[in-house]
Amino acid sequence: MLLTMYNVSIIPKEYLDSIIPLLEMLNPELGKEIIAQRLDEIKKTDYQCVGVYDGTKLIAISGIWILHKIYVGKHIEPDNVVVHKDYRRKGVGELMMKWILDYAKENGCLTSELNALVTNEAGKKFWLNQGATKWTGIIS
């Protein structure tokens, strides 16, 4: 598949419930009810979610927060990054991260910061492939 066939955009808050199936893939131990409750609380904040679509099918998501911290300044923090299992290893995650980093630059972010579970080997490999290190962000 050509990556140009995919559409990347911010998911409007009124459609955030559409991300629940992908969040369940990422957090199966939580269950749909807890995920939905937590998402309802997050909707009250400045949280945004980026979605990648194959036509009308949502195939990947990443929550994003633009934050300010003393030690790093204005930065973007992607979280709950997940690509549907049928679309993994096809460049979808990289496409989404490029979109997020371009969005971050457009919004004056100096760097990115992320949290990743140390037990998530596939996730760690993905972030290292994106240029992340323990001490630096991805934006340069």
Q: Are 80 and 62 in contact (CB under 8 A)?
A: yes
Share of the chain above pLDDT 70, in %: 79
Who's near 86: CB < 8 A, 6+ residues apart? Answer: 59
For each of the domains in the chain, give its residue range(s) and CATH number, in order of start.
Answer: 3-129 (3.40.630.30)
The CA-atom distances, in angstroms, between 95 and each of 92, 118, 119, 130 are: 5, 24, 24, 11
In the predicted model, is pLDDT for residue 102 greater than 90?
yes
Q: Can you point out the beta strands (E) in the chain?
A: 6-10, 48-54, 57-69, 73-83, 111-112
Report d(CA 100, CA 87) in Å as an integer: 18
pLDDT reported for residue 112: 85
Q: Name the pTM for this structure.
A: 0.82
Per residue in 32-70, pLDDT (tens digit) is 999 999 999 999 999 999 999 999 999 999 999 999 999
What the block records as the tokens of 128 is: 């290292």
In the predicted model, is pLDDT for residue 116 greater than 80?
no
Backbone phi, then psi, for 82, in 5-degree steps? Answer: -150, 140
**What's the Rg (C-alpha) of the chain?**
15
Task: Look at 111 and 60; give whichever has higher pLDDT.
Answer: 60
Per residue in 69-89, pLDDT (tens digit) is 998 899 999 999 999 999 999
Over range 88-99, report the average pLDDT. 93
Mean model confidence pLDDT for the chain? 86
Over range 78-102, report the average pLDDT. 93
Report d(CA 3, CA 39) in Å as an integer: 29
Share of the chain above pLDDT 90, in %: 69
